[in-house]
Amino acid sequence: MSESQDPIVGALQQYSTCDVSDALCKLKHPHGGFLPGLTLWSPQRQEGATKIVGPAYTVKYAPLDDSAPKVASHYIDSIPEGAAVFISSPPTPNAVYGGLMSTRAQASKAVGSIIDGRFRDLQEHRDLNYPVFARDVGTAPPYGAAKVVGVNVPVQLQASEKNAGTATIKPGDYLIGDLNGVVLLPRELAETVIPMMAKQNDADAKMAEAIRGGMSFTEASPPTMYNYLNPLPPFMNGTAATWAYVSMAALAAPPGQFNRSALEAPWATSDVSDTSLAQTLDYLNTTDFVAYDKRFFDIIGPDAAIKHVQNLAFQSHEAPCYIKDTNQLFFTEWGPPGGENGTHPWQYLLDVETNELHNITTDPPTFNAHGCVVYNRSIYIVTDGHGDEESGQLVKVDPHSLKQEVLLNNYLVQPFAGFNDLEIDPRGNFYLTDSKSGWGRGIVSFTPPTNPTVYFVERETYHIKPVHITNGNANGVAISPRGDVLYVPDTGVSSYYPVAKSPYGKRTLSAFDISSSGAVLSNERMLSNPISYFYDGVRVSRNGWIFCGAGDGVDVIDPESGFTLGTIRVGGGENLAVSLAFGRNELWIVGRGGVWHVKDVRERLDRDW
């Protein structure tokens, strides 16, 4: 693949070796990928704007008396376009690379050569204006001292400095070289590093602007430049992700004017007069994780990172559930403008190991899936129904054959309005939220027969009864680890015909005590109201923390106090978190803009049923 065809190479062109090393250090990659001892010799000696970026094409030299056979064909004639040639030499005073090699490499459209040893014919390389990085120059050819024993094989860097360790350069890994030296970016880390560098450069630019505006370096250094942030705990220093810890005390009474809508995140507003607060909000809008309470650090931990693994349409995606048996994530695109006038008879399966996405159709098709839970190795899905042909259904799907079975489609001959989500308790009983969302978005033709309702379904007998009714709208539903508390968000904030969202509509997350039978809810109390937007999909972790899709990200809520402990962000802008699914120490977020994967979470998240 040529440089022009490789999007990673294109993305790396705008960053320096220092930028790459900064990001790799956050990932705890040894020495930030720096390859010590390799400096620029051509076209100029450590001057100018020379920079190379390309996938490694490696050549391994060994001492002449090494038992490995010499490679028969010359490596210089098989260099691919756009490659960065990396020559590995054993310690020797002889040069292993010369002017004719650069002539041929340049003709092959290589981006430059890096010599882990000596090279010669310095002026010839400079006359070619061809980039060469090396340890030193020499005059003697390699004959009688070294031979090529491998081409496009992993090679090790010469150890030139104490505690430098041993770096292995693999074919296809990215090599970046400039006046600062040479950095090795492992191919498997490239997609993680690039967005990290973008955020860091943005933060650096803001810091530089603050210094030019009169701040001292200390005042301008994050997080001290932001008067409204606490320092991160010591164990969170050097994290791969970008974090912020909001000081609720400092934010209690900011000076000047400020305003935002209840539907937009605090950092999405520009209507702030205090410069320090504006800078803080700008910084928060670059973060991956925002903490409001120190417990959030203990839940998520220093190794967690978030990645946008599927870039999809800026419309709703719903019904995520992780299928452990197949290591796949089930989810769906929902509603208009996608599908056929908003109707979807198909869903997605994402292979979470490779992030390969499959479009699937169950047998028979499942129309307008809206919620999903995996229980006892089967997928349970609720639907809105579609048109005037089908009302909301609860169906069971085999994750291997994709055979679908309808379990429930009426309440004693009364059709459902259209299911939004479901939960399953430890005994296998169902809680189903029946909402007006499908009707409101035009994928269900008939008027809802009742107000939005939460139904309880006894698994063994299919006895069914309403357990909660609202004049707002039913949406997500989740149960506590002990099965004794049910959490239900009300999304009366959404109205239809015309479609709109009002900050005066209901946005509360309520908690209910569950009777021993599961069929009676009592002691309703308002647990939380979102900081911004509204709560959509809701899931409860193994340790009882409540995770809610909340627009700008996923809010994590304390089940006792109802305080929001922190937010897992999905990047801002048009991206929007709708719902989520747990793995062991990971979760997936789906919503407007696609799928995000949060890995290496400190606490175990998946429940034990």
Is there a contact between 485 and 513 (Cβ–Cβ < 8 Å)? Answer: yes
Give the chain's end-to-end CA distance (angstroms, integer): 47
Dig out the tokens for 385 from the structure. Answer: 């129904």
Dig out the tokens for 138 from the structure. Answer: 């020499």
293 and 186 belong to one structural domain: no
DSSP 211: H
Cα 326 versus chain centre, distance: 21
Q: Which amino acid, one-letter code, is at 275?
A: T
Residue ranges of the binding site for Mg(2+): 121
| 488 in a structural domain | yes
Domain count for the chain: 2
- The string of DSSP codes covering 23-69 is HHHHTT-GGGGB-TT-EEEESSSS-SS--EEEEEEEEEEEETT-SSP
43 and 171 belong to one structural domain: yes
* CATH number of the domain that residue 18 is part of: 3.50.30.40
* Structural domain ending residue among the three candidates 165, 197, 229: 197
Q: Who's near 145: CB < 8 A, 6+ residues apart?
A: 63, 64, 92, 93, 94
Class of residue 163 by CB neighbours under 10 A (exposed 0-12, middle 13-18, buried 19+): exposed
Report pLDDT for 198. 87
Q: Could you tell me how many helices (H) and strands (E) the chain has, helices first?
A: 9, 39
Cα 521 versus chain centre, distance: 37
CB-side exposure of 479: number of CA atoms within 13 Å?
Answer: 27
CB-side exposure of 238: number of CA atoms within 13 Å?
Answer: 9
Report pLDDT for 202. 83
DSSP 389: T
Task: Return d(Cα 50, Cα 125) in angstroms, integer.
Answer: 13
The C-alpha angle with vertex 242 and arms to 238 and 245, in degrees rounded to 5, equals 95
190 and 333 belong to one structural domain: no
Residue ranges of the binding site: 98-101, 120-121
299 and 176 belong to one structural domain: no
* Structural domain ending residue among the three candidates 168, 197, 226: 197
| 550 in a structural domain | yes
Residue 260 has φ and ψ, to the nearest 5°, of -160, 160
Report pLDDT for 293. 98
Task: Return d(Cα 441, Cα 384) in angstroms, integer.
Answer: 11
Is there a contact between 357 and 309 (Cβ–Cβ < 8 Å)? Answer: no
The DSSP element (H or E) to which 127 belongs, if any, is: helix 122-128
| 280 in a structural domain | no
192 and 293 belong to one structural domain: no
| 174 in a structural domain | yes
Report pLDDT for 25. 87
327 and 437 belong to one structural domain: yes
| 165 in a structural domain | yes
Is there a contact between 476 and 535 (Cβ–Cβ < 8 Å)? Answer: yes
Give the dihedral sign, CA 364/369/371/374.
Answer: positive
- Reported as a single tens digit per residue, the pLDDT across 286-304 is 899 999 999 999 999 999 9
Report pLDDT for 2. 52
The residue range of the domain holding 411 is: 289-304+318-574
295 and 192 belong to one structural domain: no
Dig out the tokens for 528 from the structure. Answer: 């939380």
Could you tell me which of 462, 453, 458, 446 has the C-alpha nearest to residue 432? 453
Dig out the tokens for 194 from the structure. Answer: 């690039």
445 and 323 belong to one structural domain: yes
Report pLDDT for 199. 82
| 170 in a structural domain | yes
| 226 in a structural domain | no
Task: Return d(Cα 440, Cα 391) in angstroms, integer.
Answer: 14
DSSP-derived 3-state class of residue 589:
strand
DSSP-derived 3-state class of residue 137:
strand
In 10 A of CB 217, how many CB atoms?
A: 11
Report pLDDT for 166. 77
* CATH number of the domain that residue 465 is part of: 2.120.10.30
Report pLDDT for 164. 61
DSSP-derived 3-state class of residue 478:
strand
Name the β-bridge partners of 18: none
CB-side exposure of 139: number of CA atoms within 13 Å?
Answer: 0
Q: Who's near 307: CB < 8 A, 6+ residues apart?
A: 191, 192, 596, 597, 599
* Structural domain ending residue among the three candidates 197, 219, 248: 197
| 405 in a structural domain | yes
Residue ranges of the binding site for substrate: 98-101, 120
In 10 A of CB 256, how many CB atoms?
A: 11
Q: Which residues of the chain have pLDDT under 50?
A: 3
